[in-house]
Each structure stands twice: as structure tokens, then as C-alpha cells.
Structure 1
Amino acid sequence: MKLILTQPVSGLGVAGDVVDVKDGYARNYLMPRKLGTAWTKGGQKQVDAILAGRESRSHRSEEEAKAAKAALQSTTVIVSARAGQGGRLFGAVTSGDIAEAIVASGGPQVDKRKIEVPTPIRNVGEHQAHVRLHDDVSVDVTVVVQEA
């Protein structure tokens, strides 16, 4: 089945890509989560709109992304969250929380969809997050979670 990806899918593609996947994967996983829509003849307009939106959200050039990378490497992102006994959080620290903390610490504006956290952050302490700034530029960020 041909699909137009509306969100980035790890191992498959980014928003705006036209991919061919198995029917069950499309019907049971991608489409219910609004990660893709069925390809139609008029789908090219939708692909163009997705690509235009992605370009407006991404950093304009590779040089800007490299400057943002340098700024992010030198900063430690501090997130405050409510925690119980033993440093276990009530909930988890999300990529949106990390994006807000980056801006609050004086870093560049980063789209929360570009932040990947390998394992959910559910404890107080130091964690790593991966930020994709451009197709060729990415950086690992240290996230320190403190008890609020």
C-alpha cells in the first residue's frame, strides 16, 4: 500500500515521503496514529504542503544548524519535575519539556519532534537526548532532571 507520511517514522522516512508498506502495517499502525495517509492522485498537493511546512520549521541552512549545535553542546539542559521517594518522577519528562528547557536555558528554538529520547525519562538524574537539527547535523544533549 502506498502512503504519504505525515510525521517522521523511524526507519521508514520523514514527513512528505511517499512509501510503500504492507497493508496491515499501514491500516493497524501508521494510519490510526496519524503518521500517514493513503496515496491518491491528488496527493501531490498534500506532499507539497507537508514539505513546505517541514522546511519552514527546520533550520534554514546547514550553517545555522551547526551554530545551534555548538550552542547546544555547551549547555546543560535542566528540567524540574515533581518526584516521589527514591527520585521517581510522577509521569515522565517529554520531548516538549526538553524543548522548553532548551529555550529557557538560552539555547536555540528546537522543534519537539526533532528530539529523540532513547528511553523514557522517569527518574531524577542525568540523561541523554538526541536532537536532529538538520538532515546532516545532530547533537546529543545532556538533560539533568531535578526534583521540583
Structure 2
Amino acid sequence: MKVLLLENVQGLGKKGEIVEVKDGYGQNFLIAKGKAQHATNEVINKYKAQVRKQQEIEALEIAELHQMKNVLEQLMLVLHKKVGANDTLFGSITKEEIAAEIEKQTKMKIDKKHLEIPVAIKHLGQFQVLIKLGHGIHTTLNVEVKAQG
């Protein structure tokens, strides 16, 4: 019996492969557990269409992320904070503040989990923040901290 694997099966094959298995194993284990489907032309064509659609969606996401990357690279984010002696901030600049300011200035939502602040921002000056957008696309955001008032 030929089956189309819907997930990786150790010792048999990877997701999307069509493999030949014994009838009992295919029917009673693979198909019964939802790990495979009987490999008819209809099932194979439906799977290929589903894979194509997923690839198109992924290509659109990547194009969108590249566009966001270009906008973020051009952006100079300016944050105004209260300062004490020696131009030291009260507290530090957080990922939440940076994400909120990005959304305020560009209308783009960036999850704070995607931001990496290499050195804690505790004084006035210019800093760089790494943003991991997804699909292996990274960019650097310039942040400038100025005294409030």
C-alpha cells in the first residue's frame, strides 16, 4: 500500500514523502493515528496545492518583513527620559518602551521578545538595538536617549 506521510515517521520517511508500506501497518497504525493518508491522486494533488499555498504565504511574509526592515533601518528612535546626576537615567530603557515607541512612530507592532538590547540603556546617548523579525531577517534600530524637559 502506498501512503503519503503527513508527518515525519522515524525509520520510514519525512513529511510529504510517498512510501510503500504493508497494508496492516499503513491501515492500522499510520492512517489510524493520522500520520499518513492513502496515496490516491486526489490526496497527492490536494497536498501539493496545500504546500504551494503555504510557500506563497511564506513568500508574502518574507517580503513584508523586508519592507519592515527597510523602514526600521531608516528610523532614529528618540526617547525622552528624566535624568539625575551625571546624565544617568532613573531606571533604564526597557524593551516594552522601545516597542511602544516604534508602534507610536511607525504603526508597526514589534513584539518585545524580538528586541535585543546588548547593553542596558541607563544613560543619555545613542544606542543600537537588534531586532529579530523572523525568517532569519535581522535589523539594527538606532535609539537616542535625551533628557526630558
State the partner residue of 2:109. 109
Once the two structures are aligned, what percentage of the paired residues are identical? 24
Runs of 4+ in 1 over 6 A off after TM superposition: none
CA distance in 2, matches of 1:118, 1:131: 11
Unaligned runs of at least 5 residues, structure 2: 1-59
Larger radius of gyration: 2
Alignment partner, residue 73 of structure 1: 73
Unaligned runs of 5+ in 1: 1-59
Q: Calculate the aligned-residue CA RMSD, in Å.
A: 1.3
CA–CA distance in 2 between the matches of 1:107 and 1:126? 23
Q: TM-score when scaled to structure 2?
A: 0.57
Q: The residue matched to 2:72 in structure 1 has which SS? A: helix
Equivalent pair of 1:88/1:124 in contact (CA under 8 Å): yes
State the one-letter code of the partner of 1:103. E
CA distance in 2: counterparts of 1:107 and 1:74, whole angstroms: 15
Partners of 2:134 and 2:114 in 1: how far apart? 9
TM-score by length of 1: 0.57
Q: Which whole-Å CA distance do the structure 2 matches of 1:104 and 1:146 have between them?
A: 17
Q: Which has the higher helix share?
A: 2
Secondary structure at the residue paired with 1:91? coil
Q: Determine the structure 2 residue equivalent to 1:138.
A: 138
Query: How has the CA–CA distance of structure 1 residues 107 and 78 changed in structure 2, closer, same or farther, with 3 Å as cutoff?
Result: farther
